[in-house]
Amino acid sequence: MAIAFYPGTFDPATLGHIDLIRRAAKLFDEVIVGVADNQDKSPLFTLVERVEMLEVAVNGIDNVRVIGFNNLLIDCVREQNADTILRGLRAVSDFEYEFQLAAMNRHLDPGIETTFLTPSESYAFLSSTLIKEVASLGGDVSDFVPAQVMKALKRVYSRNG
C-alpha cells in the first residue's frame, strides 16, 4: 500500500498538475495532493479556493484526496502516513531546486523518498506563474487550466482590469 504526497502551491492548479496527478493515481494506491498555504508567496487565491478548485478537477479519480497544510512538509507527509513525496519535473530549470529540496527532505527524514514524474510534453512549459501573467493581460489560457480555474481567473482579472 504505497501512498504519494504531492505538495505544491497550486496557485492556481494547471492541467500540468492534473496530468501529473492522473499519472500518479495509476502508480500509487493513494495520492494525497497537499496544498501549501504559502502566505509568503502572496498567492492570488486563498488556500480554501485552491483546495476547492483542485477537488473539482480531480473529482472522479477515486484514489486522490486534496488537503491544505501549513506545517513543515515532511511533518505533514508523516501525519498522512505517506511513503513518498511526489514532484513534477518539467525542464532542466526545475532540476536544481528539486534536487536541493529532495536532499533536504531526505536529511529531515531518511525514510521518505522523493519520486519525480514528468507531465505530457504539451504541459512541460506550463507554470502557474505564466498562467497568471497571461490571464492578467487578457490572454486566453483555457487550453491549460481546468474549467473552474478558468472561471476564477476571469472573475479576478475582470474585477481588477
Look at the block and give the residue holding cell 487565491. Answer: 45
The CB-of-137 to ligand ADP minimum distance in angstroms stands at 20
Q: How many residues bind ligand ADP (CB under 6 A)?
A: 16
Exactly one of 50, 90, 127, 132 is catalytic; name it: 90
Is 41 assigned a catalytic role? yes
Q: Please report whether residue 148 would count as binding ligand ADP according to CB under 6 A.
A: no
Tell me the CB-side half-sphere exposure of residue 30, using CA atoms within 13 A.
13
Please state, as a whole number, how many other Cβ atoms lie within 10 Å of the Cβ of residue 77: 24
Minimum distance from residue 151 beta carbon to ligand ADP (Å): 19
Q: How far apart are CA 24 and CA 70, in angstroms?
A: 23
Angle between helices 147-160 and 47-58 (to 10 degrees): 150
Rounded (5°) CA angle 40-45-50: 105
Q: Which of 4, 20, 58, 66 lies at the binding interface for ligand ADP (CB under 6 A)?
A: 20
Assess whether 26 carries a catalytic annotation.
Answer: no
Q: Do 36 and 129 meet the contact criterion of CB atoms below 8 Å apart?
A: no
Part of the chain binding ligand ADP (CB under 6 A), chosen from 54-62, 72-80, 120-128, 151-159: 120-128
Q: Which of 21, 73, 126, 141: binder of ligand ADP (CB under 6 A)? A: 126
Binding site for ligand ADP (CB under 6 A): 8-10, 14, 16-17, 20, 87-88, 90, 94, 119, 123, 126-128
